[in-house]
């Protein structure tokens, strides 16, 4: 029995230690820091890409809304180019709206100060911007066909083609270029 006591006593003197050494802990923290740095960088890149995509989408939606508004109003209008020529083209377009009293008109034009598309209504005398400041219009061209023949009682149907070019600004000085073309045919033909 004394031998057992000695053994027990010897086992009591040797403490059993568990855990990590300082070097193991430093390696684990270092690996964790590297992984988190890479993950944070990827997360920030994804947030930036999402913001840029959102900005481009907002600009395109704004341009689409302006173009749809113009074509809808032109489609319901008459007296394209206000009686000037059979085919008129240029950076501005005037016509009478179906709701206008005689002599009143609506005009769409490229505002050289803001580089946006504006609408002028002669009834109110107000100029309204149709595009946002993030949309920079560099070229706006209206071309009408059969405008004069409709006024003269011919059976042609007037139509207008709109071509818009420009760029949408987003991010840190980044731009997305675009060219859009649409056409509007006058309602209520003589046919």
Dump pLDDT digits (tens) for 131-145. Answer: 988 889 999 999 888
What pLDDT shows up at residue 148?
59
CA distance 63 to 51: 18
* Range 70-94 average pLDDT: 76
pLDDT band at 191 (very low <50, low <70, confident <90, very high): very low
Q: Is the pLDDT of residue 5 over 70?
A: no
Cβ neighbours around 113 below 10 Å, total:
6
What pLDDT shows up at residue 105?
85
**Sheet of 92-95, strands arranged across:** 92-95, 106-111, 116-121, 126-129
* Range 161-168 average pLDDT: 92
CA distance 114 to 179: 18
- In the structure encoding, which two tokens stand for residue 43, read together? 């997360």
Over the chain, what is the mean pLDDT? Answer: 81
Q: Is the pLDDT of residue 10 over 80?
A: no
pLDDT digits (tens, 9 = 90+) for 83-119: 555 557 788 888 887 665 667 888 899 998 899 999 9
Q: Is the pLDDT of residue 170 over 50?
A: yes
Q: Residue ranges per domain, the chain?
A: 33-185
What pLDDT shows up at residue 137?
92
End-to-end CA distance of the chain: give it in Å, rounded. Answer: 124
What pLDDT shows up at residue 46?
94
Q: Is the pLDDT of residue 190 over 50?
A: no
């Amino acid at each position: 029995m004394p031998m057992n006591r000695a053994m027990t006593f010897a086992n009591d003197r040797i403490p059993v230690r568990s855990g990590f050494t300082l070097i193991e802990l430093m390696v684990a923290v270092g690996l964790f820091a590297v992984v988190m740095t890479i993950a944070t960088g990827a997360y920030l890149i994804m947030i930036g890409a999402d913001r840029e995509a959102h900005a481009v989408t907002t600009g395109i939606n704004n341009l689409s809304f302006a173009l749809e508004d113009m074509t809808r109003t032109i489609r319901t209008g008459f007296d394209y180019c206000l009686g000037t020529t059979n085919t008129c083209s240029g950076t501005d377009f005037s016509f009478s709206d179906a709701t206008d009293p005689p002599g009143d008109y609506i005009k769409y034009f490229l505002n050289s100060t803001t580089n946006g598309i504006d609408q002028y209504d002669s009834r109110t005398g107000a100029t309204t911007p149709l595009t946002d400041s993030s949309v920079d219009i560099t070229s706006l061209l209206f071309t009408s066909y059969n405008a004069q023949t409709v006024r003269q009682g011919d059976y042609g149907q007037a139509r207008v083609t709109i071509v818009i070019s420009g760029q949408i600004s987003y991010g840190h000085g980044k731009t997305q270029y675009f060219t859009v073309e649409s056409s509007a045919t006058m309602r209520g033909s003589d046919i």
